[in-house]
Structures are given as C-alpha cells and as structure tokens.
A and B are shown apart, each in its own frame.
Chain A
Amino acid sequence: MTQNNRERLRQAQADAAKQQRLNRIIGVGAAILVIVLIAVFVGVLMQNQSQQAVNSSSAITPPNATSDGKAVVVSPGVAKQGAPVVELFFDYQCPVCKQFESIYGSTLNTLAASGDIELHYRTMSFLDASLANDASLRAGIAATCADTVGQYSAFHNEIYAEQPATEGEGYTDATLRATIPARIGITGDSLTTFQSCYDKQATKAFVTTMGDLGVQDMQTVTKQVATPTVFVNGKNLPFSGLGDPSGLLDLIKQNA
C-alpha cells in the first residue's frame, strides 16, 4: 500500500513538472508574440501619425502646382491652345537626370516659355530609398519652396550644378537653403519666406505625394519606374528617338 502511494506521489510530481515545462514554453512563446505584435502595431501607428503630422502642420502647396498635385507647371499660363503637355519625371539625385537636363533642359524651358509645349515637372524622390538618405526629398522641398517666392524653374535649373559627384552623398541643407538661393538672387523677405518654408518642410506632403503619384503613373504607363522619363500627352516618349536638342519639338509633336 505504501509502495503504491509513493508511486502515485512520484507520478503526480512528474506530471506537475511536465505541466510546468509546458506552461513555461507557452508563456514565453505568448510573451514574445505579444511583444512583436505590439512593436509592429506601434511602428505602423507611428508611421501613420508622422504622415498626418506632415499633412496638417503649416503644409503649403506650391502656387504653380497642377490641381491634381502631380506636377509643378513651368511657365504657367503661356501654353498655346492644344500645345502638347510634356511631363518630365526626374530625381534630383539621379546622375542621368543631370545629364538629361544639361542637354535638353534649356530647350524645354524655351519651348515652355514660348508656349509651344506645356511643361510639367514631376519630382520623384524614390532614390532616397536606395541611396539611404533623404536628399531627393529635401531637394524637392527646396525647389517647391522656391515656387512660393516665384523662383521654381530658376531653382530647378541650379540644383543639378550642385549635385555631388558621388551618387548617394546627397545635397546638404546649406547648399539647398543658402548657396542656391544666393546664386539665383533670392534675398531679403523672399529669402526669409523661402527658408522658413524649407525649415518647416512645409511642402513635404506635396513632394511626397507628387513622388507617389509619379511612381504610380510610371508603373501604369511604362511598367517601369525610372528617371528621367518623359510623357507627352500622357504617353511615354521613347528616348531612342532623342537626338540634337533642336529636333526636340518635332519629336514631341510626332509623339503627341
């Protein structure tokens, strides 16, 4: 009888130990799961919040932005009736965009000023992701802030001159908020307005959305997200046809 009791006791102890082991495993597992879930939740929430904060506080839409928020118009209001809409997708950190700009930039500007085309600049900032910085976004903010003092295309035309030779180094704040404005003659009150816009990142929401919409449109039309890309009346302009800048208007008209 005592033998039997002792056995039963031992059995109970073994069961208790097993139960304890199981509880330990379940407990630790559940704790880890809860921590990870909370971390993910907090991460997504914070991301949403930061987006909203940008959207609400002192947000500015550049005066020459298109109403759909996809672009900023160069030489607004002078395009002739039926002039083809030319959309240039670029990223200020992209070396090939700088190359493209140096060859065709002034021609595009002239055509826009004469009203032969309606020129839309669509600033992308997706290179930030691959270059692990935020210089494309900041350059985009700076350029659109320059629009608030009427210097958008002047600013745009000067940015590439300051593009760091090594891709990924990025533009410094000093370059964007002081050097370039000084060069294109933003001074006095205009400079104060511009710098306050830049420092508050007032156009960040606009630039971010402009980039998102641009990526979406490129994905839809060309199945490829790349800069520079040119759309003429919403269709991709194949770069294979590009030659001397003097033939650019004809090429645009052919593809309109």
Chain B
Amino acid sequence: MTLGARLVLGVVLMVAGLLKVTRLDASIQSVRLYQILPWDVTAAVGSALPIIEIAVGLLLVTGTFVRVSAVVGSLLMLAFIIGISSVWARGINIDCGCFSPGAEVDASQTQYPLELLRDTGLLLCGAWAAWRPRSPFAVDNWLFAPVTEPAEDPDPTIADDKEPAR
C-alpha cells in the first residue's frame, strides 16, 4: 500500500519536474499566471520548483527518508490545490489564456475540478506514505535497519535507554 502511494506520487512528481526543468522560462511564467506570489519571488520559485519536484520524486521512488519526503510531497500538492482553487475562485482562465466568450470557457472550467481531484488523490498518497512510511523495496530499510543485538543480551534495559528506538 505504502509502496504504491510512494511510487504514484514519486513518479508523478518526477515527470512533472522533468517536463519543466528544461524550460525554466515557461515554469516561471506559469507560476506568474497564478497571480499569488509577488513578481520577483516567482522567478526563484519557478526555477526551484522543478528541481525540488524531481528530488522529492526520486526520494519517494527509491524509498529514501520516506516520511520526510512524503510530507514535503504532500505540502507541494497542498500548495497546488490552494493555487488552483484560488485561480478557479477568481475566475482566471489559465489553461487557454484566451478571452473566450462561450464554448471555450466551459471547456476549460471543467478542467479545474479534474486537476483538483488529481492533486487531492496525490495528496492522499503522500499523507498515507507519511503516516505509514515503512514499505518493501526502500532504501530506508537499509538506512534505518535496527542494530543487530548480540545473541544473548544480559540486560536489554541498559542497552535501550540511551537512545530512543526508531
């Protein structure tokens, strides 16, 4: 279950990031069109976002620091959801960018709910992976492998109370 959530969110983030990373100009431009962030901040966010998406996606797919990366991935999705809702609520037509009396407005308006649904699904994936970070085929399994206790431990209480167990 967690493996699935990890892979879905991770792959989507990686693909989204890779699509944008070669075209940072366009990435900045699309951040601007949301009209939420101050103009000068958009350049930094637009350039950094694809790279962060790829990084978090990679971490999730490989299962490295699953809890932390799932939280970051979920926060990204939450930000997207807020962004899309805000744009939708303000009646800004981003997809077409066209002033369009009639049919084209309807067509694009039906896209916002779809996008929101998609991002909500991804957010749930992230939340699940953050809640239950353990899964097979994960670097974490090696990284956080418990210390192998000596065969006969005379007094386990002494060994255990120095550090909280993970």
Neighbour of A216 across the interface among B39, B50, B97, CB < 8 A: B39
Docked Cα-Cα span, A39 to B56, in Å, equals 13
How far in angstroms is the closest Cβ of chain A from B118?
A: 16
- Considering the complex, which residues of chain A in the window 31-87 have a beta carbon less than 8 Å from any beta carbon of chain B? 32, 35-36, 39-40, 43-44, 46-47
Q: Within 8 Å CB of A179, what residues of B?
A: none
Q: Which residue of the partner chain A has the closest CB to B150?
A: A10
B104 touches A130 (CB 8 A): no
Give the interface size bracket for A toward B. 35 or more
Q: Within 8 Å CB of B159, what residues of A?
A: 11, 14
Docked Cα-Cα span, A208 to B24, in Å, equals 13
Docked Cα-Cα span, A206 to B164, in Å, equals 60
Question: Looking at B26, B29, B90, B97, which has the most chain A CB atoms within 10 Å of its CB?
Answer: B97
Instruction: Decide yes or no whether A228 CB sits under 8 A from chain B.
Output: yes
A130 touches B94 (CB 8 A): yes
Instruction: Decide yes or no whether A18 CB sits under 8 A from chain B.
Output: yes
B147 touches A14 (CB 8 A): yes
Q: Within 8 Å CB of A125, what residues of B?
A: 29
How far in angstroms is the closest Cβ of chain A from B4?
A: 23
Contact mask for chain A residues 12-39; partner B; CB cutoff 8 A; 1 contact, 0 none: 0111011001101100110010011001
Q: Within 8 Å CB of A159, what residues of B?
A: none
Docked Cα-Cα span, A44 to B52, in Å, equals 12
Q: Within 8 Å CB of A215, what residues of B?
A: 32-33
Q: Within 8 Å CB of A22, what residues of B?
A: 163
Q: Which residue of the partner chain B has the closest CB to A242?
A: B101
- Considering the complex, which residues of chain B in the window 64-100 have a beta carbon less than 8 Å from any beta carbon of chain A? 64-65, 90-100
Q: Chain A: residues with CB nearer than 8 A to chain B? A: 7, 10-11, 13-15, 17-18, 21-22, 24-25, 28-29, 32, 35-36, 39-40, 43-44, 46-47, 91, 94-97, 124-130, 132, 134, 208, 211-212, 215-216, 219, 223-229, 239
A–B pairs, 27, beta carbons within 8 Å: A7-B154, A11-B158, A14-B147, A18-B147, A28-B143, A32-B59, A32-B65, A35-B55, A43-B24, A43-B47, A47-B25, A47-B43, A94-B98, A95-B98, A97-B98, A126-B29, A126-B32, A126-B33, A126-B97, A130-B97, A211-B29, A215-B32, A216-B39, A224-B93, A225-B33, A228-B99, A229-B99
